[in-house]
A = this chain, B = another copy of it.
Amino acid sequence: MRPVRYNVAASLDGFIADKQGGYDWIPLDPTVDFGALFARVDTVLLGRHSYELVLRDPSAASAWPAGSRIYVFSRTLDAADHPSVTVVRDDAAGVVAALRAEPGTGDIWLYGGGALFGSLLAAGQVDAVEVTVVPVLLGEGVPLVPAGVPRATLALTHSHVYPSGMVGLHYAVPGARAT
């Protein structure tokens, strides 16, 4: 099975972007080893909004290994305009279930955002939740999980304290469906 990993930075109060969609509150910590974190990734999942953020700031895409397959989940995007990615219009859960069941050992990085995460979590298609907790309180912003998603109990698998005061908390999702 190829695991789907929701890996994201969040404020201590659970926001992945501020009210204006900004990320300037996330410190640049040179000790965060993105190469090691994402070495096994060969597939990346993005919601439409996250994908458009990456298009505006292509350096964001350098976080995943070159050659990764990119899936963008959107009912409005015209696939013909985005030939370098696979646009998924319907049945996100079914498409991700098929990716998880593929042979091989590569990881699937659920890049975001929260809405895509919420729908895949509710469908049992997320295997790991990996949050880098940033030492800041935002008060409002884009939530880690959208309201209305069923409660999910997680199992801590790993934690790491960074010199910047960020703390990586990695969890398995016991409710993930077998592939």
- Residues of A bordering B, CB below 8 Å: 10-15, 18, 25, 118, 121, 129, 131, 133, 135-140, 143-156, 159, 161, 165-167, 169, 171
* Residues B167 and A156 in contact, CB atoms below 8 Å apart: yes
**26 A-B pairs with C-beta separation under 8 A:** A10-B13, A10-B14, A11-B14, A12-B129, A12-B154, A12-B169, A13-B14, A13-B143, A14-B144, A18-B151, A121-B137, A129-B137, A133-B133, A135-B153, A135-B155, A137-B144, A137-B154, A139-B148, A139-B150, A154-B165, A156-B161, A156-B166, A156-B167, A159-B167, A165-B171, A167-B169
Complex-state Cα separation, A112 to B150, whole angstroms:
26
**Number of copies of this chain that the complex holds:** 2
* Residues B13 and A145 in contact, CB atoms below 8 Å apart: yes
Instruction: Enumerate chain B residues within 8 angstroms of A167, measured Cβ to Cβ.
Output: 156, 159, 167, 169
Instruction: Enumerate chain B residues within 8 angstroms of A171, measured Cβ to Cβ.
Output: 12, 135, 165
Instruction: Enumerate chain B residues within 8 angstroms of A145, measured Cβ to Cβ.
Output: 13, 137-139
* Residues A25 and B151 in contact, CB atoms below 8 Å apart: yes
* Residues A152 and B129 in contact, CB atoms below 8 Å apart: no
Instruction: Enumerate chain B residues within 8 angstroms of A14, measured Cβ to Cβ.
Output: 10-15, 143-144
* Residues B161 and A161 in contact, CB atoms below 8 Å apart: no
Complex-state Cα separation, A129 to B12, whole angstroms:
10
Best-surrounded residue of A10, A144, A156 (most CB of chain B within 10 A) = A156
Instruction: Enumerate chain B residues within 8 angstroms of A15, measured Cβ to Cβ.
Output: 14
Complex-state Cα separation, A121 to B121, whole angstroms:
34
Given contacts A10-B13, A14-B14, 5 further A-B contacts (CB under 8 A): A25-B153, A135-B155, A135-B171, A139-B149, A167-B169
